[in-house]
Amino acid sequence: MPHISAPLQVAGGVQYDGVMSTFSLASLSVPLVQAPMAGGPSTPLLAAAVTEAGGLGSLAAGYLSAESLAHDISEFRGLSSGPVAVNIFAPESHRPSAADVESYRSALRTWTDAGGISGAVPPVTGDSDDMYQEKLAVVRDRRPEVVTFTFGLPDVVTIERLHEVGVLVGATVTTVPEGAAAHANGVDLLIAQGIEAGGHRAQFDQSAPSEPISTADLVSGLSAATPLPVIAAGGIDGPESAQELLSRGADAVQLGTLFLTTDEAGTKPTHRRALVEASVSERSAETTLTRAFTGRPARALSNRFTREMDAEAVVGYPQVHFLTGGIRAAAAASDDPELLNLWSGTGVGGCRQESAASLVARFAGLRRGAANASSDQAHIGGQCEGSAR
């Protein structure tokens, strides 16, 4: 079995094999993390604004080239001297059936032809690991304070190599067993994604049904099952719901949907407007969990695409993501919210058109639980003792 670097507790951080990690969730003046939102919304400007306001900004590596990721980290460093997290897509453990994906392509072509819907539906592509190894090389070189993983779990050696350069490692989990597996592999913190969260489900097996565990219950379960700090993600519409999660044992909260409508986000105008409108309209705020856009479960505002194609959807990430890309691009170009993937969590009612600093300021009064505030420093690090999340 590969050697796992044992963390040495020292003042101000955690040391792995002589390399000091100076970041701790307890060092944030506001216990708030900006979710990494791949595909454009997460920008260096947004991440820097969040960090400068007292939270933890995040960069999304998903869909970027390794060179673009390196550029984004450099751009962040030019905007802020504070900490940043980088999120990487782990390779899928479940390979989609080629026949299933081809069947969905046929259904898409029939649907677009019958409905006069714009956007090419290309031939099915092969598997893609989203330049996983190349992006690992970038973060080992550029050393963001935190690297988190989504869609799966990095192996022990990968985690150890990040520890060796002083990087804390986080895993996004959707169940307690996933959290326990992440802890066993040596991660330092958990992002607990409840069923209310917007965008892609981070479940390790894309073919499995999405477990309907609320963020609050997941936080409680992880806190009881592991000694790791937990960041609560999903369903947060304002300070009150965030404070409830901190009271349940979370060390910080993560916001995604609310950051989509901030000035610094790179959100498509059609998507941004739909979220703002949904925040003031009960009917348009309906969200649904669907595979229709990418083949992996994801929560979005309900629209024509989800209503008419969800029944045809298959397990098929990332192939389906590329199959629907032309339709989604055409919808964005024509400002059609009915055919666009309008990722949104159930907390969409808290969306405002505002600066990132203004959004963070709304949460400035959050109070960590007494146990978390006193023990966070002691349990940052995958093998340390302390309370979870």
Domain ranges of the chain: 1-92+129-260+355-389, 96-126+265-353
5-14, 32-41, 243-252, 332-341: lowest mean pLDDT where? 5-14
How far is CA 252 from its chain centroid?
14
Tell me if 364 sits within 8 A of 30, measured CB to CB: yes
Tell me if 160 sits within 8 A of 143, measured CB to CB: no
Tell me which DSSP letter residue 337 carries: G
Instruction: Output the pLDDT for position 382.
Output: 35
Give me the sheet containing 230-233, strands edge to edge. 32-34, 252-255, 230-233, 189-193, 168-173, 146-150, 84-89, 57-60
Mean pLDDT to the nearest integer, 350-371:
92
Closest alpha carbon to 217 in 204, 203, 230, 201: 230
Mean pLDDT to the nearest integer, 273-277:
97
Per-residue model confidence as pLDDT tens digits over 65-121: 999 999 999 999 999 999 999 999 999 999 999 999 999 999 999 999 999 999 999
Mean pLDDT to the nearest integer, 38-58:
98
Question: Is residue 295 over pLDDT 80?
Answer: yes
Instruction: Output the pLDDT for position 12.
Output: 42
More confident residue, 176 or 9: 176
Contacts of 57 (CB under 8 A, 6+ apart): 34, 46, 47, 48, 49, 50, 51, 76, 80, 82, 83, 84, 85
Amino acid at site 248: R
Ramachandran sector of residue 225 (left: φ over 0; alpha: ψ -120 to 50; beta: rest): alpha
Instruction: Output the pLDDT for position 16.
Output: 53
Question: Is residue 373 over pLDDT 90?
Answer: no
Q: How far is CA 159 from CA 6, 61, 90, 227, in A?
A: 12, 17, 12, 17
H or E segment to which residue 10 belongs: strand 8-10
Taking every pair of Cα atoms in the chain, the longest distance, rounded to a whole number of angstroms, is 65
CA distance 313 to 139: 35
pLDDT level of residue 21 (50, 70, 90 thresholds)? confident
Instruction: Output the pLDDT for position 108.
Output: 98
Tell me if 355 sits within 8 A of 262, measured CB to CB: yes
Per-residue model confidence as pLDDT tens digits over 225-258: 999 999 999 999 999 999 999 999 999 999 999 9
Question: Is residue 201 over pLDDT 60?
Answer: yes
CATH topology of domain 1-92+129-260+355-389: TIM Barrel (3.20.20)
Question: Is residue 374 over pLDDT 70?
Answer: no
Percent of residues, the chain, with pLDDT higher than 70: 89
Instruction: Output the pLDDT for position 285.
Output: 75
**Terminal CA-CA length for the chain:** 28
pLDDT level of residue 381 (50, 70, 90 thresholds)? very low
Tell me if 62 sits within 8 A of 39, measured CB to CB: yes
pLDDT level of residue 2 (50, 70, 90 thresholds)? very low
Contacts of 281 (CB under 8 A, 6+ apart): none
What mean pLDDT value characterizes the chain?
91
Per-residue model confidence as pLDDT tens digits over 207-219: 999 999 999 999 9
Question: Is residue 122 over pLDDT 80?
Answer: yes
The pTM of this model reads 0.91
Question: Is residue 3 over pLDDT 80?
Answer: no
